[in-house]
Amino acid sequence: MVNMTFGVTVTDNSGLAVWCIEGVTSSQPEGGDGAPDWVLGPDDVQSLELRAERLGTPGTRTYTVTIRAIDMAGNVSDPYVLRQTR
C-alpha cells in the first residue's frame, strides 16, 4: 500500500469549513488476494493508502477519489474528483 495525503483548502463566507473523502473507486478489479484496493489513512478523513501493484502494464490502475466540503451551517459542496494513476 502507498500512502496518499491530500492538501485541500476549502473556504466559506463564514470562514469555517472542513472536507473529507467521500468515496474511492479503481479502474481495475480488486486483486485475488483478498486485500482491499484502498483503506482510509490514520486520520480517517484526509488520507488514503492505495494498492501499489496493478494488473497489466504500468499506468493502468487509476483511482478516482471524491471529496466534499461542509460548512458550519451544514451546507455541502458539489463533489470534487481527483484522479491518481499508478
| Boundaries of every domain in the chain | 2-85
CA distances, 84 to each of 29, 41, 62, 73, 80 (Å): 16, 16, 6, 32, 13
pTM, rounded to two decimals: 0.74
Which tens digits make up the pLDDT trace of 58-83? 657 788 889 999 998 899 999 888 87
Give the three cell numbers for residue 58. Answer: 504500468
Query: Average of pLDDT values for 14-33?
Result: 80
Q: Which CATH number fits domain 2-85: 3.40.50, 3.40.390, 1.10.1060, 2.60.40?
A: 2.60.40
Within 8 A by CB and 6+ apart from 5, the residues are 41, 46, 47
